[in-house]
Amino acid sequence: MIKKVIITITAFLMIFTAGCSNKPEHKKLKAAATIFPIYDFVKNIGGNFVEPVLILPAGSSPHTFSPTVKDLKNLTGAKVIFTNGFGLDEWVNKLAKSAGIKKQVSINTQFKSIVDAHNGNPHLWMNPEYATEECKVILNTLSKIDPAHKDYYERNYKEYTKNILETAENLKKELNSLKNRNFIAFHPAYTYFAEYFGLNEIAVIERTPGREPTPKEIISIENLIKNGKVKVLFKEPQLSSNIVNTIEEDTGVKVETLDPLGGVNGRDSYTELLIYDVEKVKQALKK
Ligand SMILES: [Zn+2]
């Protein structure tokens, strides 16, 4: 009798286990993003049903990036690629074509007039309010591709964008006491960031990344520092130039680091990136 029961149980367990392993595993929707902030938006909105893929490796700049075969492999099976657009990540076009991915969505087409008014400046994500608009495009796209989880994506979007705005508003308050709000950036990555946080990106070293400033431009930057207009120059982890050292030696300007992309330890999410940058600004500009 006992033997019979054991056999029955074993048989039952076998059928049960077989049943489980035969069941097709839930397949996540693979969605790629060109730069880290967009990747983080996709990750937060997509949650359990999306596998986000980041194309631009941490530490690289989208302005100087050239994709490799490895980047192509990562993209295999992606249903959509989210891009920033406005010339920041055009290298993705060739990559998408090679990987056979037809759906490419720029999260910024709604900002065309703003970008035009800023000489084509593509760094929209650095303004947290614009970031939530970008998230909306991601929400709509994911909901269209995977309508079964529309409500889920919508809930994530609401919670996530609320969190971005609350974080940003609190950070803004932290800068209230700053008097001199001028800074020099390495390249115009913080223009929209400065607009949101009430700061002033008074000059940049490289207007176009990779193109060094002319001697005349260097002199005019150095004069801003010598005249006491600006005390801080922000360099970046992804781009560099010896000109920064030259200006530092010539003028004694305070050189600190701001990061427009994140994706590394300590700023491994978009909100952590905002916190990092605002803290850097606060420390560099106070007194
Ligand atoms: Zn940039």
Measured in Å, residue 120 CA sits from the centre of ligand 1 at 11
**Structural domain of residue 55, as residue ranges?**
29-172
Asked whether residue 136 falls in the same domain as residue 268, the answer is: no
Widest Cα–Cα separation across the chain: 98
Q: How far is the CA of 187 from the centre of ligand 1 (A)?
A: 6
Q: What is the dihedral of CA 264, 266, 269, 274, to 10 degrees?
A: -120
Hey, is 31 helix, strand or coil?
strand
- For residue 138, report the distance from its CA to the centre of ligand 1, in Å: 21
* pLDDT band of 23, cuts 50, 70, 90: very low
Is residue 104 domain-resident? yes
On whether both 166 and 256 belong to a single domain, the answer is no
Distance (Å, rounded) from C-alpha 162 to C-alpha 157? 8
Cα of 260 to ligand 1 centre, how many Å? 7
**Cα 262 to ligand 1 centre (Å):** 12
For residues 88-92, give the mean pLDDT. 96
The pLDDT confidence band at residue 2, using thresholds 50, 70 and 90, is: low
Q: Both 165 and 210 in a single domain?
A: no
Query: Do the strands 182-185 and 29-33 form a parallel or antiparallel pair, or are they unpaired?
Result: unpaired
CA 193 to ligand 1 center in whole angstroms: 12
Rounded CA gap, 134 and 118, in Å? 18
Q: Is the pLDDT of residue 268 over 80?
A: yes
Whole-number average pLDDT of the chain: 92
pLDDT in tens, 172-191: 999 999 999 999 999 999 99
Residues 41 and 147 in one domain: yes
Per-residue pLDDT tens digits for 113-160: 999 999 999 999 999 999 999 999 999 999 999 999 999 999 999 999
Q: What are the C-alpha distances in Å from 258 to residues 35, 168, 231? A: 17, 16, 15
Last residue of a domain, one of 172, 205, 236: 172
Residue 24 lies inside a defined structural domain of this protein:
no
**33 and 150 belong to one structural domain:** yes
Distance CA(155)–CA(161), nearest Å, equals 10
236 with 249, same domain?
A: yes
Domain count, the chain: 2
Residue 186, class by beta-carbon neighbours within 10 Å (0-12 exposed, 13-18 middle, 19+ buried)? buried
User: 218: domain CATH number?
Assistant: 3.40.50.1980
Residues 150 and 188 in one domain: no
